[in-house]
Chain A
Amino acid sequence: MNLLEVRGVTVTMGVQEILHGVDLDVPANGIVAVLGSNGVGKTTLMRTISGVYRAKSGTIRLAGEDITGLKSHAIVARGLSQAPEGRQIFAPMSVRENLVIGGGRHGLAELDRVLALFPKLGERMGQIAGSLSGGEQQMLCIARALMAKPKILLLDEPSLGLAPKLVKTIFDLVAAIRAEGISILIVEQNARAALRIADRAAVMEGGRIGLEGPAATIAEDPRVVEAYLGGHGTAA
């Protein structure tokens, strides 16, 4: 069964339609990668799933329940968390406070489990979040989302602006998070890295899903190789 089902979602901003009927599935305990260049609507899709934007039409289901039009806090409470684009951490607050807030009604119940994935954060609990390095801030952002005990985690460009070594660390973490039984929907510019860990992948073009299929198939599709993987050579 699919944990997350997006059906025919359209989103408009003012008079402009940004998403023109997007369909997307995330199976339970799966990793789905959404690829695509800037401005095709990836972040809009992620924000709409999290309830920050309103869908004009279409439905979004989480574990069978219709969550279309619910407010963002109600969606988080139902088990869908997001580490959003631009991290959006609470910079003037301490790492611990960021995690407590992320925990919501669970408080610090998930702390040990989360710190096992992010041991570095454990050393910086008292530090002000804004003073962390970029990589640490990204880890805090993901850790904060995990504190809410989600069934599915949405990651919007987690590797953006990070050094190559850190990118690998982040993707290893994503695989480790899935190993804990959490489904993942990831939006990435770094197609090569995303396809390596994903089960399925979708390519967005101009506000719709152009291609969709098993990650290995998508990685060998000549159009994807040409546009996102830098020409010839193997993808993975």
Chain B
Amino acid sequence: MFDPYYLQQLAIGLSQGVIYALMAIGFTLIFGVLNVVNFAHGEIYTLGAFVGLLVITALAPPLLVVVLVVAAVGAAFGVGLERIAFKPFRRFSDEASLKSRAMRESTLMSSLAVSIVAREGLELAFGSQMQTLPFDQLINKPIALGPITIVTGDVIIFAVAAVMLIGLQWLLTRTRVGLAIRAVSANPLGAKYVGIDTDRTIILTFAIGSMMGAAAGVLVGLYYGAIFPAMGFVPGIKAFVAMVMGGLSSIPGAVICALLLGLSEGLATTFISSNWADMVAYGFLIVTLIFFPQGLFGAGRERV
């Protein structure tokens, strides 16, 4: 009565959703602290994939090493991004200007500018066509699971996402650094009065968020076997939609919505052409904005 085909589609959708979730975590973390949308997050993901390509072609280390190196480089990119696109606009330190509209709009533009420069730079260096990753390094060995088939990458990506999410929750609730991040997010001026180095905390937030974005990029590259300079755009949009649906600053909310988004897209391709599957995300975004202006998990927060 239940066609295994649907289960297969659900499995594909779930792994897609996990990828969106990996992106959405970093996005939401940065938004939560600075109240700004980091448009360059998609390019961090792309850069992560390309750094992975370079590392693999040069040294062909084990997967764990690749992911760790990419995460470290991603953190460095995050720090650089913060210095170039965000710090110069943070001239005043009271909360009114830290979370002001002017701050939000100027960093929206500056992060968009950095993302364009990064993408074009990659195109100049590597060309805009697909780059293939060495076949033996890919994470797409099939695993039969009853009537459906998944690949090793599904398991690996799911595991990495779970570790990151749990690790992040631990960091944010149990460590001094994590409490500082939440304190700056809740009240940047109050954070100064209790002796938190707000600048350092913001840099750290970018490093953590970008680390996750870059790791997601290399995993997805190894999952599909091909990477290209514009690859970060669509997942970036999906992560943004997940963040908005989740209520903007709720990390668990964003993760749940990212999974929902992936699953819905997976199911939708059963009924409509896969070219139209992106419509699902945009449809969700519009429905959220109209009917749940505070997001699905964003109780008590300002309107999206």
Residues of A in contact with B (beta carbons under 8 Å apart): 50-52, 71-73, 75-77, 81-84, 87-93, 97, 100-102, 104, 107, 144-145, 148
Contact = CB atoms under 8 A, between A and B. Distances in A.
A104 B93 CA distance: 20
Query: For the complex, would chain B's binding face be called helix, strand, loop or mixed by DSSP majority?
Result: helix
21 contacts: A52-B93, A52-B192, A73-B198, A75-B195, A76-B193, A77-B195, A81-B194, A81-B195, A83-B193, A84-B193, A88-B187, A90-B182, A90-B183, A90-B190, A92-B182, A93-B179, A93-B186, A101-B180, A101-B183, A101-B194, A104-B196
A84 B183 CA distance: 15
B194 A100 contact: no
B190 A73 contact: no
A144 B179 CA distance: 14
A170 to B, nearest CB: 18
A16 to B, nearest CB: 14
B123 interface: no
Nearest to B195: A76
B197 A52 contact: no
A210 B86 CA distance: 42
A76 B186 contact: no
Contacts of A77: 195
B94 interface: yes
Interface in B192-211: 192-198
Given A52-B94, A144-B194, 9 more contacts: A50-B192, A50-B193, A76-B195, A90-B183, A90-B187, A93-B179, A100-B179, A101-B180, A101-B191
A148 B196 CA distance: 11
Given A90-B187, A92-B186, A101 B179 contact: yes
B63 interface: no
Contact of A84 (B179, B186, B190, B197): B190
B134 to A, nearest CB: 46
B270 to A, nearest CB: 41
B296 interface: no
> Which of B176, B180, B183, B195: most chain A CB closer than 10 A?
B195
B193 A72 contact: yes
B189 interface: yes
B195 A104 contact: yes
A50 B189 CA distance: 11
A88 B180 CA distance: 14
Nearest to A90: B186
A71 B197 contact: yes
